[in-house]
Chains A and B, each alone.
Chain A
Amino acid sequence: MDKDFAARRRRDLIIAAVLAVIAALTPLFVKDVVVQNILILTLMYAGLSQSWNILSGYCGQISLGHALYFGLGAYTTELLFTKFGVLPWFGMLAGGVVSALIAMGLGYPFFRLRGHYFVIATIVIAEIGLLLFHNWEWAGAAMGITIPIRGDSWLKFQFLRTKLPYFYFALALCCLAWFVTWWLENSKWGFWWRAVKDNPEAAESLGVDVFNSKMGAAAVSAFLVAVGGSFYAQFVSYIDPESVMGFQFSLLMALPAVLGGIGTLWGPVLGAAILIPLTELTRFKFGGSGRGVDLIVYGTLIVLISLALPRGLLSLFSRPKKTGAAR
């Protein structure tokens, strides 16, 4: 078993490296900015969903409030940049740290809640964040923050037309989130989480350790999502509360993981690779009609996939469990 596990982990790492190299080479062939745009969003959501998966998938604490951390990351970066001239690279770290701290602060009372109570509490806290930013004059309130663009600059991480730097950053974020997940899977924390998910009562005996590991998961997850938020702000170069902290982001972070396979290493990547291009294409194709056809197509697919494959699309690829047992 242990041997198998180790072998599988080695295999995963190799596959990931190969995929990353292939992804890194795509811009050589794909010159079209629209396709590049889709690729960037796909990678970004894969990374976000992977981060979400750490807390919600592996730890089993389903959060539909991660938009809070996404928005905090975006706002911290841009407030520091526009008000104090702090370069986005530092802002990104600051945003991550702020989000991680808040996640831990919230984790303390939140982890006492179970099931629906926890889910609703996460939705509600993100909604409070949204409302506060909406009414915070200094942070631009509803007007949002426009990031002044003065030409290409690596220092300020802003580029007029080329999308390549954004692409590679998104790729890096996605790889980082994947690698963190991969590493956590085999850590002490990963072991506790599996134990908690399989048998909550037995895990009670682990007590404090489990609680701390959950806090850790919340912090790591929030940190990565906040970095994603900073990236998004730089990429779009305009933020307002609704467009970085809205409920739709919480869902968009969860959806790829759920569709691909929640609590799995590859689920979020697979889910994002299918979901994001699909969303964009349905909008290109049907969006101009004003009849809501894009919504119908999109919604039907979600219903069908979640009904047909409750373990996510990944379950299509996994070998039946029996073979493993027979060996």
Chain B
Amino acid sequence: MGLLYGLIAVGLALIFGLMDVTNFAHGEFLMIAMYLSFFLFAFFAIDPLLSAPLVAAALFIFGAVIYLLIVRFAMRAKANAGMVQIFTTFGLAIVMRGLAQFFFTPDYRSIPQSWLGGKTISVAGIFLPEPQLVGALVSILAFAGLYFFIHRTDFGRALEATREDPGAVALVGIDKNRVFAFGWGLGAALVGLAGAIMASFFYIYPDVGASFALIAYVTVALGGFGSVFGAFAGGIIVGLVEAVTALVLPPSLKSVGIYAVYLLVVFIRPRGLFGSI
């Protein structure tokens, strides 16, 4: 489970952490991805695992468009940039939920039969659910890919440079909007991957994103903004802490453990575990 949290968080880590843009609609991105994957299954019988790249591609476009249409302007705000970002994306989240309810109805959906759903590998008495296993695998790959991308390619360097000093990069001829639109697209595509995998074993309804969003924020912040590896580690820690807390405290309090660990970490290290900003 921790790796799945990581997978949801990694897209956020890119948007929130590397570009320093608050995105309160992250959970709704996940929701859209899950619906997409559901409809691909319902109408074309494409298994979520196969449709994952399609969903990721669709979300890439969606993310980039959202950036160009809305977020770009929020970032340009001269006053209160932080608040403007929070409330623009928050408003966006509400609109997306409303639209989902309007077009998809509030019915609970879920994909009854998929390659992954409900299957389990049992190793020496320990049950390893396949969706989680695949999720973990995809998550590791996604993290590795993103890490490589940020640190080894020109684009990654451009992204980091743009965040640190937009003025300077403009001089070198990098178009800030193009770089950030691409970054948003990439972040959204990663959420798309997560959504497609989640769709194979989770229920889907317009408010589904809310349960994951806060955990994703905490995961990213725990690992530290600006660090891909941090988000990865954060995901694993969150998963572990959750499991341990559920054993020690009443399970209805299990999130308290996650939150307490976050507070503890930032009190000791105000920039998260591996944060640079």
Contact = CB atoms under 8 A, between A and B. Distances in A.
A295 B272 contact: no
B172 to A, nearest CB: 27
A117 interface: yes
Contact of A303 (B88, B214, B255, B260): B88
Interface residues of A, number: 47
Interface string B170-195: 00000000000000000000000000
Say what secondary structure dominates the interface of chain A.
helix
A61 to B, nearest CB: 11
Interface residues of B, number: 50
A128 interface: yes
B112 interface: no
B98 A310 contact: no
A131 interface: yes
Interface in B93-129: 93-102, 106
A229 to B, nearest CB: 21
B19 to A, nearest CB: 12
B151 to A, nearest CB: 22
A132 B260 CA distance: 12
A128 B87 CA distance: 23
Interface in B42-73: 70, 73
B78 interface: yes
B37 to A, nearest CB: 21
B217 interface: yes
Majority secondary structure, B binding face: helix
Contacts of B270: 112-114, 117
Contact of A290 (B22, B106, B214, B263): B106
A134 B255 CA distance: 12
B267 to A, nearest CB: 5
Contacts of A311: 79-80
B77 interface: yes
Interface of A: 62, 64, 109, 112-117, 119-121, 123-125, 127-128, 131-132, 134-135, 251, 254-255, 258-259, 262-263, 290-304, 306-307, 310-311
25 contacts: A116-B16, A116-B225, A119-B22, A120-B218, A121-B262, A123-B214, A125-B259, A125-B263, A127-B259, A128-B256, A131-B253, A132-B256, A134-B252, A251-B90, A258-B87, A262-B80, A262-B83, A291-B102, A292-B100, A297-B98, A299-B92, A303-B95, A306-B74, A306-B83, A310-B81
